[in-house]
Amino acid sequence: MDDYDESINLYSSSSTKKRRNNYYNNNYRNQKNNQKNTHSCIIIILLIISISQFLIIIYLLFSPKFKQNFENNENNLYNEHNNSFNENKTEDNITISITEQITYNLNNLNLGKLIFQKEEYKTNKSVIHIAMACDNDNSAVYSTLVSMTSALENNNKEKNILVYHLLLSNNFDMRKISYFESLKNDYDFVLNYFKIPPVFKYIGKKWRSTETVEYKLLLSLIYPDIPRMIFLDGDTLIFTDISEMYNLDFKDNYLLGYPYHTADALDKWDPEDFKIYVNGGVLLFNIDKMRRDNMDLKLLLFHGLNYTRTHFLEQDSLNYVYKNKIGLLPLKYGVYLFGNVEEYKKEYLYKMRIDINFTELGNAIEKPSIVHLCCCNPKVWHKNTQQEKGFNHICQRFQKEFYFYANKTKYYSEIYNAYMN
| Residue 142 to residues 59, 127, 384, Cα–Cα distance (Å) | 45, 25, 17
Determine the Cα–Cα distance for residues 356 and 352; give it in Å rounded to an integer.
9
Q: Identify which of 200, 217, 202, 201 has the alpha carbon closest to the alpha carbon of residue 80.
A: 202
Q: What is the pLDDT of residue 419?
A: 93
Q: What is the pLDDT of residue 106?
A: 56
Within 8 A by CB and 6+ apart from 357, the residues are 331
Mean pLDDT, rounded, of the chain: 78
Determine the Cα–Cα distance for residues 276 and 95; give it in Å rounded to an integer.
27
Phi-psi region of 364 (alpha: psi -120 to 50; beta: other; left: phi over 0): alpha
Determine the Cα–Cα distance for residues 333 and 248; give it in Å rounded to an integer.
12
| Residue 75 to residues 41, 101, 214, 306, Cα–Cα distance (Å) | 45, 12, 16, 14
More confident residue, 67 or 297: 297
Is residue 133 within 8 A of residue 162, CB to CB? The reply is no
What are residue 226's phi and psi, to 5 degrees?
Answer: -110, 125
Is residue 108 within 8 A of residue 143, CB to CB? The reply is no
Is residue 161 within 8 A of residue 128, CB to CB? The reply is yes
Strands (E), 269-417: 278-285, 326-328, 333-335, 370-372
Mean pLDDT of 259-283: 77
Which of 71-80, 102-111, 256-265, 371-380 ranks highest by mean pLDDT? 371-380
pLDDT band of 60, cuts 50, 70, 90: very low
Mean pLDDT of 409-416: 97
**Helix residue ranges, H only, 326-385:** 341-347, 358-366
Mean pLDDT of 102-108: 54
pLDDT band of 345, cuts 50, 70, 90: confident
Interval 205-257: pLDDT, tens: 666 567 888 899 999 888 888 999 999 999 999 999 999 999 999 999 999 99
Is residue 128 within 8 A of residue 163, CB to CB? The reply is yes
More confident residue, 116 or 28: 116
Q: Using the predicted structure, report yes or no on whether residue 392 has a pLDDT greater than 70.
A: no
Q: Diameter of the chain by CA atoms?
A: 143
Is residue 268 within 8 A of residue 311, CB to CB? The reply is yes
Interval 64-82: pLDDT, tens: 443 344 344 333 433 433 3
Determine the Cα–Cα distance for residues 217 and 214; give it in Å rounded to an integer.
6
Is residue 116 within 8 A of residue 195, CB to CB? The reply is yes
Q: Using the predicted structure, report yes or no on whether residue 91 has a pLDDT greater than 60.
A: no
Q: Using the predicted structure, report yes or no on whether residue 143 has a pLDDT greater than 90.
A: yes
Is residue 230 within 8 A of residue 246, CB to CB? The reply is yes
**Residues 198, 199, 201: CA angle, nearest 5 degrees:** 65
Mean pLDDT of 311-329: 89
| Residue 397 to residues 147, 240, 258, 380, Cα–Cα distance (Å) | 16, 17, 21, 9
Mean pLDDT of 35-58: 62
